[in-house]
Amino acid sequence: MESMMVKTHRRRTWPQAAGLLILLLIGLMAVDLYGDEAPGDPGRADLITLDGMKLLRHELERAPVQFKHDTHTDVIKADGLDCSTCHLSETSGRLSQKFMRLADENYERTMEVYHSNCIGCHQRRLDNDQESGPVTCGDCHRRDPEYTDNRQPMGFDHSLHARHIAATHNKCESCHHEILLTEDEENEEAKRKPSSCRDCHLKVDSRDVPSMSRSAHWACLDCHRQLDAAGKSSGPSRCAGCHDAAKQAAWKIDPNPPRLDRDQPDNVIVSSGIQAPGAHRMKPVRFPHKAHEGYTDTCRACHHGHMQSCSTCHTLDGKHQGAGITLENAFHSFKLDGTCINCHEGSKKRPECAGCHAPMAQNEIPQSACTVCHGGDQQGSPTPKNAQEAEAGTAIAAQTFSFSPGTIPETVLIDSLESKYKGSLFPHRKVIDALLKGYDGKPGVAASRLAAVFHRTNDTLCQGCHHNTPVGQLPPSCTSCHSAPFDENNLNRPGLKGAYHLQCVGCHQKMGLDNLQGCSDCHKPHASKE
Amino acid sequence: MSNGTTAALPARGWLTPFNVIAGAIIVMGLVLTFMRFTQGLGAVTNLDSYTPWGFWIGFDLLAGVALAAGGYTTSAGVYLFGMKKYHAAVRPAILTGFLGYSLVVVALLYDVGRPLRLPYPFLVQQGTTSVMFEVAACVALYLTVLFLEFSSAPLEWLGIKKVARIISKLTILLTIFGVVLSTLHQSSLGAMYLMAPSKLHPLWYSSFMPVFFFVSSIAAGISMVLFEASISHKFFHHKMDKHYEEASAQLVFGFGKAGSVVLAAYFAIKVIGVSLDHNWKYLATGYGAWFLVEILGFVLLPCFLYALGVRDKNKKLIQYTAGWTVLGIIVNRLNVSLVAFNYHLPNDLRYVPHWMEIGISVFLITVAVLVFRFIVTRMPIFFEHPDFPQDDH
Amino acid sequence: MDRSRRKLLKLFAAAGATTALAQPAQAASANKHFDGYPGSYGVLHDTTRCVGCRSCEAACNEVNNLPKPDKPFDDKSVFEEKRRTKTGVFTVVNRYDGVGKDGGPVYRKLQCNHCLEPACGNVCFVHAFTKSPEGAVVYDPSVCVGCRYCLLACPWSLPGYEYDNAFSPVVVRCTMCYPRIKEGKLPGCVEACPMEALTFGKRDDLIKIARDRIEKHPDRYIDHIYGEKEISGTSWLYLSGVPFDKIGLSTHVGVTPPPKLTAGALGAVPMVVGLWPALLTGVWAINKRKEKVAAQEQAEAVKTAIDQTTTKANADLDDYKKKAELQKEKAIDQAVKKALAEAEKAREQAEEKA
C-alpha cells in the first residue's frame, strides 16, 4: 500500500517537472529572441573608460567603469561648484587631469581614491535626496557597457584656426608657446615659424613633452574656462562641445579662411634633392603650394605633424624614418592616403567629373600624364615668399577650352538600332556646354584648375565619350567598332546597344542627374505601338 | 474508456460517439480530398516555393515512418535477437508498421504534384543519385515485406493454410530483409535533408543526420510498440489471449530497458554532433533553447524515466514515457522539417501549416485507426489462431 | 546576328564534342573535381550596371510564351516587394533599397543559376534535370512526379512550383533559353538588356571579364565573383558593388558540390546491404545455436539423471539380492544346523530312551 502511494506521488511530480523545464526553456528562448534588440543609441562623446590602473601593470578585478564626464560637469556646475571639486591643482597652478590625485602611486591607493570619492559623493547626494549615481559595485563596473563610445577625434582646420587668430587678436604666442619661451637669437627661426603642435606633442607622453591630447586639454580648456569665468564668449568646455559629431558639423565654417602665414613658399620645386651630374632623373615638379593650400582643411593633410619637406623622410630608397615609404610612393601611390595621385584620383569621383571618368579604368596613370607635372625643366630654388610673379610665369599652364560654333553638331540622331523604340535625339551641344560651363550649380571643366591642367586640349574633353579617337581627328561613328554584343574575339567590348546605354545612362547616373527614369525619356515609342 | 470499449463492440450499435466523430472526420477528409485533387495543392496547403515540404512530409512521412519502426524493431528483437518471450507482440507491431507505411504512401499521393506518376522512378526513369530514390525503393520494398509478414494473419483468418505455412517458413528471411531496408530508409530520410545545409539550422543540420534518424527510429519503434500496446489494451482487451497478455506484461519492462539504452545512445550522438560542428554557441539563442527542450525534455528525460520505470517495476510510468517519447519523435521530425527549416527567412516568408493540411493528416490517421480496428477485431493479431499455434523459428 | 549565330553554333559543336568525352559530375571519384563542361556557356550579371528597366522580364515572358502579368513590365511599383519565380514567371528583377554605395538602390535579376553540379539534378528521383554540355540545366516535365525535392535542395530556393495547377503542375524555372542557344541565339533576357548588365559567353571567358572589371574598377566592385565557386560553381555569375548578402544572394551556401553532401550516406547503402544480412544472420544463428546447445544440454542432463537413477536402482537391487541370498543361506545354515541339532537331540533322546 505504501509503495502505491509513492508511485502516485511520483507520477504527479515527473510531468510537472518536465513541464516546468519546458516552460523555463521557452522563457529563455523568448528572452533571447526579444532581448537583443539594440536601442537606437547614437553614442556619447564624453565617455571616459576608467581603466588607468592598467598603467600600473595591474589587471582590473572588475569590468572598467564607463564615466560620463559631461553629466558630472553639468551637475557640479548646477551646484555652483567648479572643476576643482574633482581635479586637484598641480604646483604649476594647472589642474591635474587625473581624478582627485596628482599621480598614481599604486593600485590600492588609486582604487581607494575612486571608491571613496565617487561612492562618497553619490551617497551624500542620495542622503540629501538629490539625483545621484550608483553606489553598488555592479552598477558602475558593468560587464556590458551601457553606452557606445562615439567620440570623434578633434583637430584644428584652417577655418577654426582663423577663428582663433581673430579671437586672440593675432597673438600667436597665446597658444604657440615656443614663440613666447624662445628669447635667444639662435632660435629666431623657430620664433618666426610656429610649427604644428603635433610636431612635438606626440600621441603619447614622451619624457619632457606631454601628449597632444593632454596638452590640448590643458591649453584649450584653461583658456575657455578663463574666458567663461570672465563672462566673455568662448569655446566649448564640455566634452561634447569638441568631440561630438553633430556639434562638429554645426561649427561656423569660414569658407575662405585667410592664408596661414608661416613663411611657406608659393611654389615649390619638388625633387629628390639629389644632385648627381649626368644622372637622368625625373624632371622636378614645380608645385603650386599656395594653390593647394585651399584644397585641404589642414596642413597636416599632406605634412603629417611637422612641416619639413617630404624628401627629408621619404627618400628614393625608402628609409626607416619615412616608414619605409619611398619618395616615389609618397607622391604616386594609390594605396596611401595624402599622396598627390590619390587626391587627384579622388577628385575624379566628383559628380561633374565621374560622368566621363567612372567608366575609365581606375588607378591607372596614362603615360601622357607624367609630363603634366614633370614637364618643366625649371631648376633652382623655391620661389621666395610672396614673389610677385607667383603663379603667372612659373606654374603649369592651364588649357582654356573653346568650341567655336560649327565644330560640333548641335544634335545627333541615334537611330541605327531602331526596333521596339524610336531613335534618340542626342543634344550634343547641350551636353558639351554642361561639361564646360557646369550644371545644377556644379562647376564645369573650365572653372576647375585641376581639370584645366590635366585636360590638355579640346580633344581630351571629347574623349570622355569618343574614347580611342586620336587627338585632332574627327571621331568615327560608334558603329565602326561596336556591333553585335559578346564578341568572342573582344570580350570586353560592349555591343552597340550596350555601348550607347552604358555611356548615356552611366554618365547620367554618375553625374547625379535623375532625369532618366524610363525608356521614354530618350526614346519615343513607335506610332504603331499604341 | 467506455466509449472505446463500446466502439470496439459493434453489437451495441453503430451510433457511438467514436463512430460519430470518426464519421465526421471522414466526411471532412473526403471533402478536402476532393478539393486537393480538383483544385491543386495550393487550395488546401500553405506550401510555397521556399517551403516545398510542409506538414505532410514532416508529420505523415518523417514522423510516420519513424513511428512505424516498431515492426522491424520488434520482429528483429524476437526472431533475430532471441527475445522469444515477446513473441506475441510481433503481430500487432507488424500490423502497426504495415498500416503506418500504407498511410505514408497514401499521404504521399496527396503531397506529390502528380500522384499517378508515383511509380515513375521505378518504371520510367531512375534518378539513382537521389537519396529519395533510395527512400522510395526501400519504402516500396519494405511495404511489400511488411505485407508478406502481415499476410499470415488474414491468411489464417481466411483459412488458407498452405500459403500461411509458406509465409511462416520465410519469417527469418523477411525479418532480415526488413531490418536491412529499414536501416536504409530510416537513415535516408535524414540524409534527404543533408541537401539543405544552408536552410536547416546548424543545431539540427549535421552530417550525422542519417545516423540520428536511424537511431531515433529505433527508440520511436520501441516506444510506439509500448504506446500502442497500452492503448490497445484499453480498447481491445477482450480480443487478447493469455499468451499476448503475458508477453505484453513482460514486454513493458524489456522494451522499457531497451528504450532507455537507445535514448541514451541517441543523446550521446546528438551531443557529439553538436560538439563536432562547434555549434555550442547556438545553444544560447532562441533556437538553442528549443533544441535543448527537444534534447533534454524529449530525449534525456524519457531515457531517465524509462530507466526509473524499469527499476521500480512501474508499468504506468513506462507507458506514459512511451507516449512522451512518441511525442518527442514527432517534435524532432517537425523541427527538422518545419521549425528549424528555413530559419534564415523573414517571418512573413515562413511556412505555417494550413488547417486543411492537418485536416487531411487527421483524416488519414482516422482511416488507419478504423482499418486497425477492423483487422484486430477479426484477425488473429492479439491472439493465436487455434489452427496455427506459433511454432518456434 | 547571322554571322555570330554561325560562330555560336560552331563553338557549340566543339563544346559538344569535347564534353562527349567528359563524364558527368556524379561519376567523378572522391579526388576528382568537376569544373564544369569545358566551353559551356553562362551569363554574367553585373548588378552595378542594372537599372531595373525590367526589359529582361518582358523578353523572358515573350520568348517563353508566358501569360501576361497583371502589372505591365514598365510598372515600377512591383519593386515595392521582393518578388520571386512562380507560375508564369521565370525571372524577376528585385530592387534592394538603400544598399548601394551612394545609398541608392541596387537591382538584381533572379533566375535559376544553372549550377555546374545542380542540387536539383542530384536529388531528382526521376532524373528530370540534366546539366547540358552547353551550360543550361534542362528540365523534363514529362517525367516529373512533383515531389519538389528540387525546390528544397536548391540553396537559393530558385525553382518555383505550380501549386495552383491541379492536374499537370510543373516546376517553374529559367531554361537559360536552351532552345534558343541551340539555334545560336542569345537568351531572351540577355538580348533585351540595354545596359549589358547581362553578358552571355563561355563561362571561362565571363570569369575573365569579371576579373578584368574588378581589377580596373576596384572601387566599384566587391572583389568576388558570386557563382565562381559557390556550391562548386554556377553558370550564372554575379558582380556586385555591395556585399552579396545585401542583394539577396546568400553567402552561406558554401562551396561544397551538392552531390558531395549525400555521397557518404549513399555510399553506405551497399555496405549496409552487404553487411547487415551477414551480421543479422550471424546474430540469429548465434541465438539459434544457443538455444540448440541449451536444449542438448538439457537432454543430456535428463539422460544422466535417468542413468544414474537406473544404475543406483540396479545396484540396490543387486545388494538386496545378495543380502537376500546371504540371508537365505544363513537361514538354510541355521535350518540345517537346527535340523542337525534337533536330529542330534532326537538321537540322544532316543539313545537315552533306548
What is the β-pairing status of strands C171-172 and A47-50?
unpaired
Cell 615668399 belongs to which residue?
Answer: A385
Reference B65, options B148, B211, B185; nearest CA is: B185
Q: Is the pLDDT of residue A65 over 50?
A: yes
Terminal alpha carbon distance of chain B:
37
What gap in Å lies between CA C227 and CA C46, rounded to an integer? 12
* A7 vs B115: CA distance, rounded Å: 51
- To the nearest whole Å, the CA of A17 is away from the closest chain B CA by 10
Q: What is the pLDDT of residue B152?
A: 83
A391-403, pLDDT tens digit by residue?
433 445 566 777 7
Backbone φ and ψ for B68, nearest 5 degrees, come out as -85, 10
pLDDT at position A413 is 87
Collect all residues of chain C within an 8 Å Cβ-Cβ radius of residue A487. 4
Q: Are C260 and C115 in contact (CB under 8 A)?
A: no
Interatomic CA distance for residues A3 and C334, integer angstroms: 77
ipTM over 0.85: yes
Say if residues C136 and B117 touch (Cβ distance below 8 Å): no
| Contact list, A14 vs chain B (CB under 8 Å) | 305, 317
Chain C environment of A362 (Cβ under 8 Å): 216-220
Q: Are B366 and B22 in contact (CB under 8 A)?
A: yes
**Residue ranges with strand state E in A260-384:** 268-270, 285-287
Of C109, C58, C52, nearest in space to A421 by CA: C58
Name which of A297-306, A479-488, B367-376 the model is least confident about. A297-306
Q: Which residue has the cell 556524379?
A: C26
Decide if B176 and C164 are in contact by the 8 Å CB cutoff.
no
Question: Which pLDDT band, with edges at 50, 70 and 90, does B193 fall under?
Answer: very high
CA-closest candidate to residue C34, choices C210, C228, C233: C233
| Binary contact (C216, A486; C-beta < 8 A) | no
Task: Answer whether C186 sits within 8 Å of A362, measured CB to CB.
Answer: no
Q: What is the pLDDT of residue B215?
A: 94
User: Has residue A146 got a pLDDT over 60?
Assistant: yes
Confidence class for position A389, pLDDT limits 50, 70, 90:
very low
Residues of A whose CB is below 8 A from C219: 349, 362
The mean pLDDT value for A311-317 works out to 85
Please name the residues between 325 and 344 in chain B that touch chain C, using a CB distance below 8 Å. 344
Q: Please tell me the distance in Å from A134's CA to the nearest CA on chain B.
A: 30
In angstroms, rounded to a whole number, what is the distance separating the alpha carbons of residues A419 and A415? 9
- Alpha-carbon distance A122 to A135, whole Å? 6
Contact list in C for residue B41 (CB cut-off 8 A) is: 163-164, 169
Name the residue among C77, C114, C104 with its Cα closest to residue C246: C104
Predicted confidence band of residue B8 (pLDDT cuts 50, 70, 90): very low
Which chain C residues are within 8 Å of B180, Cβ to Cβ?
A: 272-273, 276-277, 280
| Residue in B49, B81, B191 closest to C151 by CB | B49
Contact B125 C143 (CB under 8 A): yes
Percent helix, strand and coil across chain C, each rounded to 5?
A: 50, 10, 40
Can you tell me the mean pLDDT for C136-152?
A: 94
Distance from CA of B43 to the nearest CA of C (A): 7
Task: Look at A530 and A72; give whichever has higher pLDDT.
Answer: A72
Among A284-288, A472-476, C169-173, top mean pLDDT goes to C169-173
What's the pLDDT at C8? 46
Q: Are B134 and C266 in contact (CB under 8 A)?
A: yes
From CA A407, how far away is CA A309, in angstroms rounded? 47
The CA distance from A62 to the nearest CA of chain B, in Å, is 24
User: B117 and C84 in contact by Cβ < 8 A?
Assistant: no
Give the integer Cα–Cα distance in Å for C351 and A371: 186
pLDDT of residue B12: 54
State the average pLDDT over residues C201-221. Answer: 93
**Cβ contacts (< 8 Å) between C281 and chain B: which residues?**
176
Q: What is the mean pLDDT of residues A460-468?
A: 85
Chain centroid to Cα A363, Å, comes to 20
| pLDDT, tens only, C299-349 | 999 999 999 999 999 998 998 998 888 888 888 888 888 888 888 888 888
Write down the pLDDT at residue A437: 86
Per-residue pLDDT tens digits for B326-360: 999 999 999 999 999 999 888 888 999 999 999 99
Inter-chain CB proximity B292 and A14 less than 8 Å: no
For residue A18, name the pLDDT band (cuts at 50, 70, 90). low
CB–CB of A37/B290 below 8 Å? no
Map residue C139 onto helix, strand or coil: strand
Interface test with C, best of B33, B62, B195, B209 (most C CBs within 10 A): B195
Label residue B46 by pLDDT band (50, 70, 90).
very high
Cα–Cα distance for residue pair B183/B73, rounded to 1 Å:
10
Q: Can you give the pLDDT at residue A399?
A: 64
Hey, is the C-beta of B210 within 8 angstroms of any chain C C-beta?
Answer: yes
Name which of B289, B296, B312 is nearest A28 (Cβ-Cβ).
B289
The whole-angstrom distance between residue A322's C-alpha and the CA centroid of its chain comes to 22
For residue range B199-236, what is the model confidence (pLDDT) as tens digits? 999 999 999 999 999 999 999 999 998 998 888 887 88
Least Cα separation, residue C194 to chain A (angstroms): 5
Neighbours, chain A (3 or more CB pairs < 8 A): B, C
- Which three cell numbers, joined as nine digits, stand for C154? 536548391
- Number of Cβ atoms within 10 Å of the Cβ of A467: 13
Spatial distance between the Cα atoms of A263 and A396, rounded to a whole number of angstroms: 22
Is B196 part of the contact surface with chain C (CB cutoff 8 Å)? yes
**Contact, A200 vs A182, CB < 8 A?**
no
Q: Does the pLDDT of residue A456 top 80, yes or no?
A: no
Q: What pLDDT does A13 receive?
A: 58
Residue B127 to residue C128, Cβ atoms within 8 A? yes
Q: Would you call A491 and C208 a contact, using CB atoms and an 8 Å cutoff?
A: yes
A485/C217 CB distance under 8 A: no
CB B351 within 8 A of CB B51: yes
Task: Name the DSSP class of C107.
Answer: E
CB C145 to CB B120 under 8 A?
Answer: yes
pLDDT bucket at A27, cuts 50 / 70 / 90: low
pLDDT in tens, B254-282: 889 999 999 999 999 999 999 998 889 89
For A168-182, what is the mean pLDDT?
Answer: 72
Residue range A270-295: average pLDDT? 76
Cell numbers representing residue B262 in the block: 537507445
A68 closest CA partner among A125, A156, A142: A142
Residue count (chain B)? 393
Percent of chain B with pLDDT over 70: 95
Cell numbers 502589372 correspond to what residue?
C71
DSSP assignments along B105-143, one per residue: HHHHHHHSS-GGGTTHHHHT---TT-HHHHHHHHHHHHH
- Average pLDDT (B130-151) is 91
pLDDT at A383 over 80: no
DSSP letters spanning C269-297: HHHHHHHHHHHHHHHHHHHHHHHHHHHHH
Q: Where are any strands of DSSP class E within A85-235? A: none
How does pLDDT run across C230-289, given as a tens digit for each residue?
Answer: 999 999 999 999 999 999 999 989 999 999 999 888 888 889 899 989 999 998 888 888
C171 compared with C1, residue with greater pLDDT: C171
Residue % of chain A over a pLDDT of 90: 8
Which of C138, C251, C269 should one mutate to test binding to chain B, selecting the residue with the greatest count of B CBs within 10 A? C269
Percent of chain B having pLDDT more than 90? 59
**B contact chains, 3+ CB pairs < 8 A:** A, C
Does the distance separating the beta carbons of C51 and A505 come in below 8 Å?
Answer: yes
Q: Indicate yes or no: CB of C125 within 8 angstroms of CB of B130.
A: yes
- Closest CB to C168: pick one of B79, B114, B118: B114
Query: With contacts defined as CB-CB under 8 Å, which chain A residues touch B287?
Result: 29
Q: What is the mean pLDDT of chain A?
A: 79
Contact state of C151 with B39 under an 8 Å Cβ cutoff: no
Which of A185-194, A407-416, A423-432 is predicted with the least confidence, judged by mean pLDDT?
A: A185-194
Rounded to 5 degrees, φ, ψ at B15 are -85, 50
Percent of residues, chain A, with pLDDT higher than 70: 81
Say whether A424 sits in a helix, a strand or coil: strand
- What is the reported pTM? 0.80
Interchain contact, C291 vs B191, CB within 8 Å: no
Contact at CB, C196 and A505, closer than 8 angstroms: no
Is C79's pLDDT higher than 90? yes
Of C85, C165, C268, the CB nearest to B49: C85
- Give pLDDT tens digits for A73-121: 999 888 888 888 899 988 887 888 889 888 888 888 888 899 999 999 9
Residue C59 confidence class, pLDDT cut points 50, 70, 90:
very high
Residue of A317, A310, A383, A378 lying closest to A340 (CA atoms): A310
DSSP state string for B35-60:
HHHHH-HHHH----SS--S-HIIIII
